[in-house]
Structure 1
Amino acid sequence: MRIAFVSLETVRHRDTETNRRLQSTLELLADAGHDVHLFCARFWDGDSPTLERDDVTYRAVTDDPDARRSFCLRLPFDLGAAGPDIVHATARPPTALLAAGWGARIARAPLVAEWYGDGGVDDDWWTRRATGRADRIVAPSELVATWVRERGADGDRVETVPNPIDLERVRDVSPDDRVDVVYARRLDEGANLESLLLGLAELRGRDWTATVIGDGPEREAYERLARDLRIEDRLSFVGDCSLEERIAAYRGAHVFAQTAEHCVFPTEMLWALAAGCVGIVEYHVDSSAHELVEGWERGFRTTSEDELADAILSAGDLEHRTFDDRFADYDRSAVAERYLEQYRMLREEYGLL
């Protein structure tokens, strides 16, 4: 299948959650043997209009990611000339999604909109107009799907497709040293690590160890809070780690704690759960993390530091695991198939199969 992706920016312009999601989707479908093209702003040197990299063809619609107007004017004709079977466009900016819609019409191909929701979903005229343009809207979680529906999208057209993980990679990494609790995230103003630290302080009289993975502007403040709570001797701040190092830590840990206030999809938590961790989520209205543990006997949803501490104690009664095949539906191959299923359904609706 010839798939034309559209995104003004790529992960090589800015390293954001939305752009990482796009890159992983490109790689998933290219690895599955499909003809994948990305129409974007140029990020490579030289004057060549295309770049072939890792079985993906990148096509420069404009030289400048800030040149939104020229991108939107050229895009429909570039898409029409490419003759794709499916057009799959990111929803930011919404004007680019609208332009992708015109290109899909010229190409007589269905349009899929990818609404990741990193930074929220705007409530303006352009966004509401864009939500009605796509034949299908893909969101990473029910949280984002709800946001998009609230902006006027037809609920029957909205599908959730999670971020993928690689279960074979999880199996191949040897477990690290045993710890009771692990936390992993960039330590910025949204980390909300203080909830976990306060919960652990409630268990000061118990025997436990914890690891915090990640770095950021709030690390020093969190380290100071750990000292103030007198738990620093059992808490290790290890900074940024590679994916293999993180997987090793998760396979060695018993509990993964997710307390961040904003999270459109808890990818890091998913890696940890697949690596056998019990999941403890502090519920927040702008976080989808609780969706992964609802109705699961090895998952806990909490709303306060006291409940979080109680959940850590309860998790101690569960067996330690280093892998959990419950999350096979999140493997790379399974997620790729979910995208392809949407594409095939749309092409059938268009009478193209």
Structure 2
Amino acid sequence: MKIGIFTEAYTPIVSGVVTSTRLLLAELRRRGHDARLYTPRHPAKPIDEPGVSRFPSICFPVNSWIPITVPYSRRLLREIREAGFDVFHTQQPFIMGRLARYLARESNAPLVCTIHTQYEHYVHYVAPTAHRAAKAVARYLVRSFCNTCDVITTPAKGMEELLRSYGVTRPIYVIPNGIDLEPYRHADGAAVRTRLGVPNDAVMFSFVGRLAKEKNLPVVLHAVSLLKSEQPKIVLVLIGDGPERAALQQMAQTLGIAERVIFAGKVPHTETPAYHTAADAFVMPSVTEVNPYAVIEALAGGTPAVAADSFGMREILTHNQDALLVPPEPEAFAEAMRRLAKDENLRCFMSEAAREKAQQYSIQRCAERFLEIYAGAVGKR
């Protein structure tokens, strides 16, 4: 099958959407399909893998980490038209999505759109004020675009319900994000703990992701502050970077927990399996997640989670089996972290359950489901 994938964000940007898109492209090509990906150029000028082409882009001086596509390239438009794609698949409903829609209509091919994100929770990046109006615009843009597609997919049932509440009427299929499980079978967590200076007898809680407002990380810092006197062996490691890093570092100082919080910075995605296996537990206080890739990766590393009780978490995690799901409040997170820190047997039980759960999220299963969706959409043309 010939598949054109369009996305606003790709490497070297680090995000769950980028990772899931990259793995899907690789798996489709591994199976022999002619899958090609189109994305905007990045200022870092990364060396791309086969099958990736980039449109011109510009970067505005706003608080965003994603280049803005200039959706015109005579060479690439000619290449896309000559490719004769059977299906077009966009990862977002914005500029690249509209380009995919235009080209799909031109070639009478079906258009599949994956909604990964609750965009209304990210409007502060483009509209620092007037959040209410910006959220309404975000909902309108998603609804109006989705209703022009042949098929919508999303990684979570809760997101399907949210899209229906927006007024999306097109067919929606839930396909959880896929993960490459192989690197987790050989990851060396002990080496990571040594490199970070985390003692073997410490209870290491980790977070992997952007240090951004929507991640709600002050909840975890305050939770560590509540535990600092009674649980002296708790260490929090934040893996990643982002616009809130300086503020979080200052907060750790103010709360008197700077020696308990390690800001590990951004690490290559190929190294994250070792960071997950190094941790005793993973924390995710965000309530905006749809099907958080970092949580699935934590499961693959055998790392139980303390997570905010939201639809995105409930669809992946099971309370008291591979996770403790609690309200996104410092006191609730502190109690869950205390429980795990004090009970090694519970951590071991949950670790085994986490590894078993992760098997459900293999990239092979994910790709098979997308191929079924593609074939069904093509068959209806």
TM-score bracket for the superposition, by shorter chain length? 0.7 to 0.9
**In the alignment, is the contact (CA less than 8 A) between 2:93 and 2:146 conserved in 1?**
no
Partner of residue 137, structure 1 = 152
Which of 139, 143, 168 is matched with 1:153 structurally?
168
Letter in 1 for 2:297: W
Residues 256-305 of structure 1, C-alpha deviation per residue, up to 9 Å, x if partnerless? 01013533332122211211111111246xx7234321456121111122
Q: Which has the higher contact order (CA 8 A, sep 6+)?
A: 2
Residues 169-207 of structure 1, C-alpha deviation per residue, up to 9 Å, x if partnerless? 011212224433122233233342221122222222124
Letter in 2 for 1:84: F
**In the alignment, is the contact (CA less than 8 A) between 1:36 and 1:55 conserved in 2?**
no
Task: Kindly state the Cα deviation for residue 306 of structure 1 after the two structures are TM-superposed.
Answer: 1.8
Distance (Å, rounded) in 1 between the aligned partners of 2:180 and 2:300 = 9
Q: Structure 1 residue 293 and structure 2 residue 307: aligned?
A: no
Which of 252, 255, 273 is matched with 1:226 structurally?
252
Q: Structure 1 residue 199 and structure 2 residue 194: aligned?
A: no
Partner of residue 2, structure 1 = 2
**Closer, same or farther in 2 for the Cα pair 1:16/1:275, shift >3 Å?**
closer
1:1-353 mapped onto 2 (5 Å cutoff): 1-7=1-7, 9-11=8-10, 18=17, 21-39=20-38, 54-56=49-51, 58=53, 66-68=69-71, 81-93=82-94, 97=97, 100-101=100-101, 103-117=103-117, 119-120=119-120, 122-123=137-138, 127-154=142-169, 157-176=171-190, 177=193, 178=200, 179-203=203-227, 204-210=229-235, 211-283=237-309, 288-294=312-318, 297-303=321-327, 304-315=329-340, 316=343, 317-320=345-348, 321=351, 324-350=355-381
**Closer, same or farther in 2 for the Cα pair 1:79/1:219, shift >3 Å?**
closer
**In the alignment, is the contact (CA less than 8 A) between 1:182 and 1:212 conserved in 2?**
yes
Task: Kindly state the Cα deviation for residue 137 of structure 1 after the two structures are TM-superposed.
Answer: 0.4
Residues 101-125 of structure 1, C-alpha deviation per residue, up to 9 Å, x if partnerless? 4543554433211222263384466
What root-mean-square deviation, in Å, do the aligned CA atoms of Structure 1 and Structure 2 show?
3.6
- TM-score scaled to structure 1, two decimals? 0.78
**In the alignment, is the contact (CA less than 8 A) between 1:188 and 1:217 conserved in 2?**
yes
**Count of matched residue pairs:** 334
Unaligned ranges ≥5, structure 1: 45-51
**In the alignment, is the contact (CA less than 8 A) between 2:117 and 2:289 conserved in 1?**
no
**In the alignment, is the contact (CA less than 8 A) between 1:111 and 1:136 conserved in 2?**
yes
- TM-score scaled to structure 2, two decimals? 0.73
**Closer, same or farther in 2 for the Cα pair 1:245/1:136, shift >3 Å?**
same
Distance (Å, rounded) in 2 between the aligned partners of 1:13 and 1:181 = 26
**In the alignment, is the contact (CA less than 8 A) between 2:40 and 2:57 conserved in 1?**
yes
Say which structure is richer in helix: 2
**In the alignment, is the contact (CA less than 8 A) between 2:87 and 2:111 conserved in 1?**
yes
Distance (Å, rounded) in 2 between the aligned partners of 1:185 and 1:109 = 36
Secondary structure of the 2:93 match is: coil
Secondary structure of the 1:190 match is: helix
Distance (Å, rounded) in 1 between the aligned partners of 2:210 and 2:52 = 32
**Closer, same or farther in 2 for the Cα pair 1:295/1:282, shift >3 Å?**
closer
**Closer, same or farther in 2 for the Cα pair 1:78/1:101, shift >3 Å?**
farther
Letter in 2 for 1:272: A
**Closer, same or farther in 2 for the Cα pair 1:329/1:348, shift >3 Å?**
farther
